[in-house]
Structure 1
Amino acid sequence: MTSTTHPDAAAAAELAATSLLRFATAGSVDDGKSTLVGRLLHDSKSVLADQLEAVEHASRKRGQEAPDLALLTDGLRAEREQGITIDVAYRYFATPRRRFILADTPGHVQYTRNMVTGASTAELAVVLVDARNGVVEQTRRHAAVAALLRVPHVVLAVNKMDLVDYAEPVFAAIAEEFGAYAASLGVKDVTAIPISALAGDNVVEPSANMDWYGGPTLLEHLETVPVGSDPSEEPARFPVQFVIRPQSAEHRDYRGYAGQLASGVLRTGDQVTVLPAGITTTVAGLDVLGEERDTAWAPQSVTVRLAEDIDISRGDLIAAGPAPEPTQDVVATVAHLNERPLRVGDKVLLKHTTRTVRAIVKDIPYAISVDTLEQVPSPGSLNVNDLGRVVLRTAEPLALDDYRSNRRTGSFLLIDQADGTTLTAGMAGEAF
């Protein structure tokens, strides 16, 4: 039996039932980021009793009377000893209104690559600022990374307001400066919230010390910010992950292509193009969770059946709507993540969705200064934490979208072909 559901209504119902927000935090060293995350978890009743007891015990051993909530996320021994965040810490928590996956990223310049990792899948970034210091170099760096990764929503959390006597003019000046800089980067949605993570002001509960502020608390904003996008407004992109050919007599004519719909909506009867071959056919059927459907939308996992018997394998892209032109010449903005430099002439593997091909670095036209966004021409190589522009030549054609229009099918990874380590995160198209 075939079930027919209007995609917009169905998507809205599913999102309402399983609303999930992935967000990342970033801030300079000693801005109180780990304390903010700890306060958010503690005050939203998302900390287990044994976790809180362990934090209280560790705090007493350090001579602190009150529990140091930063210890809830700074789990590595080196992090606790140095008082800084080194690695990305992922935390899951939930409220009655929404579920959350939080990526607590380091604030130190040395670990900018970790913020790239944490923010790459985020729909919102919380950028923390010390009210006493205002917008500093690292604040601009984090705003630039969020803009480069096309994070849809940015929250400016002006922390330690208790140390500036909860002064509104201090908050207003910082919010104005950051807003102007974010706008120059193309960030469209910035929400500024004055907080004190240590005292709990405006984190979960409204602050009695800042009656001049009439906006939401941080948690309230996280619970209500729009999540995802309307799939019907995006072109359908379906990277093939697995070819299903049952060997039983009952299903001997069945051929399906399984994977996760990266964007858009697919319907039975839609005309699609199989890339990179460029063959056009139509969708004969869709199977979702073992049931035949007329419609599927991102990010559902689905099996697609096509009208024609076409040679399709893992890594091919089934596209509806305007399709990207397959190319072997890839020009992209990249963030280099590995201690080993990326140099012109390097032979690497390029992983794009479910497809992995061999590639060579043909050119590195320029590096990008994250502080000023100026281009540094002909650097010759990119070192760890560097941003830059690269030109790649691939052994096989790839169907990449512009990253600005599709984060899923516009992104890729460069991998060391010798040992399989991740070298570089790439975003096809222009940077800003």
Structure 2
Amino acid sequence: MNSLQDLRRTLVAHADTVHDDGAHARTAIVGDRARAVRRNRAVALAGAAAALLAAVVVPSVVLDGGDPVPADRELIGREAPETLTSLGWSYRFTEGVESTADDPARVRLGTSDVPRLVTWASAADEVDVAVDVMGYGGVSEATDFDDFMLVPGVERARITLRAGGAPAALAVYELDRDVVPEGITRDGLTWRETVGSEQLLDGTIGEVGEAEITLEVEVPESERIRLAKYCEGLSVGGDLWVNVSVEGRFSGAHGGCGDPAPDLAGGSASWLDPEHLPEPGETVSMRMWVSREFGKGSEPVDVDDVRLAFAAYDMGRPVTDVAGWEVFPLIEHEGHRWSLVEVEETTRGAGRVTYTNTADHTVLVEASMSGAGQRTVAFREPQDGGEDRTGSGNGSGMFGILRPGQQASLVVQGEPRPTTRLGFAVYVRAD
């Protein structure tokens, strides 16, 4: 599967005693596609997205080319599944389109209040799947409705399936809100029980208009907690802040809320390591509130439309580390689960690391770096059309998809520092 690229979710925030993903270097590698920036804009664009949905009526699916099949799942002589499952969520078939002798199969998706999955089939052995507005393009050998791409509800996308003239079809699925994964659900919002290697310790979803929520959890044996955070209904650019504290110590704040989504688990987060937590078995208290002032001593203020939510996940113990970053056995990326199979890392002070996929199946690589200082580090992989994505300093969380024989590289531009470490974690599909 040639997935859409993604950075780990980020929260623009300020931190002192715990790692928050705005200040923490997990996101130091930047420059991923505009789509990743749009999706991760927890501070910058939530209000604008809400206004867009309210002001513009856009059909969620428009079929370009081919013959629409609105109810029949029979496409190019094959039956598309009635439902697809992604990360515990169920998606129901809504529309399908077939290619014609003159045109490939095309689907145009407008914004929606739910995420979509798009799957494909063809008589060809491989197809080219392209999404023009998101910069995605790649070849897939999944040609029997046996793979999919995820399109968030806030995104618009035009998807084209080319099969060298062979019959081809696209099928679109929308989230079924009536089928909810295990976890904590309230008013259509869910903290999932399992997220990659992580297990939900506890979570809360506040009432609309509730300006402050709290949570207490027992510190797990791993001594590693991901504190996932969510808010809605607070416009960007106003004079209000959403604050978070852990054990009374200020963790971070941001001015605005992210894009609305029923799956809360993959949003912005803070990482709490052993040095920030009490001993295993002891209780850690957490607080989230809206205020007019920034920071620890600020007082909660009532806001009619705001909703706050946060949850604590036991991250488990890492398997190893790459370039100083902990690596866990199972991750989620673009609607799929991926399992760690190997790592590739340079010696300290080296300025280049490459990874070539010698397997007979697709792999996902995650690039990590540390100790590079202000030197630019470029990440390149084939599905980006050979374009570099760059960063500096410390970072982890830039992904690439490699088909058999393809290579990814991470290269320091200029002389590397003696402290520089570069590496890849390599994953295979686990679902």
TM-score band (shorter)?
Answer: under 0.3
Larger Rg: 1
Give the structure with the larger strand fraction: 2
Q: TM-score, normalised by structure 2?
A: 0.28
TM-score by length of 1: 0.28
Between Structure 1 and Structure 2, the one with more helix by share is 1
Greater length-normalized contact order (CA 8 Å, ≥ 6 residues apart) = 2
